[in-house]
Structure 1
Amino acid sequence: MTDQNPQGNPEPTEPENDAAGSGETPFQFTDKRKVDPTSGEARPGEPAGTSDDPLAALDFEPEGEAAESAEVLAAKAQAAEHLDALQRERASFTNYRNRSLRDQEAARTQGTQDVLAALLPVLDDIERAKQHAELSGPMAAIAEKLDASLAKFGIERFGQVGEEFDPTVHEALMHNVDAEATSATVSLVVEPGYRIGDKVVRAARVGVVGPE
């Protein structure tokens, strides 16, 4: 409703914006912040130890240093496995190499023994010719070259008159008694012995003289 002035014109009235007059609930702002923005301390009533971290109640582990540490541990474990496998492979290769070298040496020695066994009849004939002074001239030179070639392969001829009899390297074909002898010695070499290193390919076949 408006009032009229003497001129008959209505006078405006102030709008009724009062919330109390309109029946509406007035708007109120409540500060529910748990930390005082001025002092930075927890407000009274805040449980001790309550964290203001919004992620504290979330049910997952955030990615970061913990995740990186797990990856580093996994990488170290994998590296240790690879190192162990490499060391095992290296040891296996070393054993294989050593075994191969031994096999090669054994095969080489066996081959030399086979060749020597095939040459024994020829070598015996040459020795008999030497004993009977039937080897001279070019044949004597060939015999010397043959001995030098055999020496290059580690072949050694043994068995000399006067050396002490040793049943491990001598084969006694005959035995004579000598009252003055104090030990058994080689008195005659029928066929010399041959060995390669410590391996006796053939024992020397000899005659022996010794005490009763």
Structure 2
Amino acid sequence: MSTSPEEPQEPAQDPGDQAAEQNAETETPLTAEEILDAEQTEEARAADHEGAGATGSAGTEFAQLAEDRLEDLRRLQAEFVNYKNRTDRERAALRDHVISDVLGSVVPVFDDIDAARAAGDLEEGPFAAIAAKLEDLLGKQGLERIGRIGEAFDPNVHEAVLQQPADGVDADHISMVLRSGFRVGTRVVRPAQVAVAP
């Protein structure tokens, strides 16, 4: 008697599984919005709770690590702000230094203008207009004269050449300006040469 190999039989399918397969074929897939908007089931909540309890010590470590990194970030930010402020101050100081050097090189021109004005050569005409424009332009750049009759003598900005009394001028005040001084901001480019009332 001949025996034929038995063909493998497929296991009988559960009627519930067959219905689920048919529904899966006919239902449309869920969108991301639908998944995110869906309410969490009690089973999922319980699983989250158990997971949180199991990772409690790890969560504490992560929180401490995050706090340390945040503190490092705050320190770096404070260092950057300090660096930026220091750089801005140094840049402003350098700019003032350069401007005062450039304007200081023009000071002898002012001496010539003052001499011409004292001689009456700059009362009118094109050169008088040019001199006025030059003084106005450099004044806008921060160049200002130091030393006026009647000012209190200040050794930081005035150079006393002689003592000379003058009517209406108090003691230790400027009685005559021999050569104008100039400053840019707080930096003295050239002190004024003055006579001081005794």
- TM-score between the two structures when normalised by the length of structure 1: 0.63
Q: Which of 132, 145, 150 is the equivalent residue of 2:138?
A: 150
2:42 counterpart residue number: none
**CA, structure 1 residues 163+73, in 2 after alignment: closer, same or farther (shift >3 Å)?**
same
Which has a greater percent of helix?
2
1:77 counterpart residue number: 64
**CA, structure 1 residues 112+90, in 2 after alignment: closer, same or farther (shift >3 Å)?**
same
**CA, structure 1 residues 65+178, in 2 after alignment: closer, same or farther (shift >3 Å)?**
closer
Deviations 1:34-71 (A, max 9, x none): xxxxxxxxxxxxxxxxxxxxxxxxxxxxx844431122
Relative contact order (alpha carbons < 8 A, sep ≥ 6): 1 or 2 greater?
2
Percent of aligned positions with the same letter in both sequences? 41
Q: Which protein has the larger Cα radius of gyration, Structure 1 or Structure 2?
A: 1
Letter paired with 2:68:
E
Q: Which of 138, 160, 185 is the equivalent residue of 1:197?
A: 185
Partners of 2:139 and 2:167 in 1: CA distance: 39
1:186 counterpart residue number: 174
1:123 counterpart residue number: 110
1:55 counterpart residue number: none
State the superposition RMSD in angstroms: 2.2
Partners of 1:181 and 1:113 in 2: CA distance: 32
Describe the SS at the equivalent of 1:70.
Answer: helix
Q: Which of 123, 128, 134 is the equivalent residue of 1:140?
A: 128
Q: Which runs of 5+ in 1 are unaligned?
A: 1-62
**CA, structure 1 residues 181+194, in 2 after alignment: closer, same or farther (shift >3 Å)?**
closer
Partners of 1:141 and 1:95 in 2: CA distance: 48
**CA, structure 1 residues 180+81, in 2 after alignment: closer, same or farther (shift >3 Å)?**
closer
Q: Equivalent residues in 2 for 1:51-90 (5 A)?
A: 64-90=51-77
Partners of 1:76 and 1:117 in 2: CA distance: 61
Query: How many Å apart are 1:152 and its aligned residue?
Result: 2.0
How many pairs are equivalent? 148
Query: How many Å apart are 1:129 and its aligned residue?
Result: 1.4
More deviation in 99-108 or 124-133? Answer: 124-133
**CA, structure 1 residues 179+102, in 2 after alignment: closer, same or farther (shift >3 Å)?**
closer
Partners of 1:201 and 1:172 in 2: CA distance: 16
Query: How many Å apart are 1:174 and its aligned residue?
Result: 1.9
Question: Does residue 101 of the first structure (1) align with residue 101 of the second (2)?
Answer: no
**CA, structure 1 residues 178+206, in 2 after alignment: closer, same or farther (shift >3 Å)?**
closer
Q: Which runs of 5+ in 2 are unaligned?
A: 1-49
Contact 2:171 2:196 in 1 (8 A): no
Query: How many Å apart are 1:190 and its aligned residue?
Result: 1.6
Query: How many Å apart are 1:163 and its aligned residue?
Result: 2.5
Describe the SS at the equivalent of 2:89.
Answer: helix
Question: Does residue 162 of the first structure (1) align with residue 150 of the second (2)?
Answer: yes
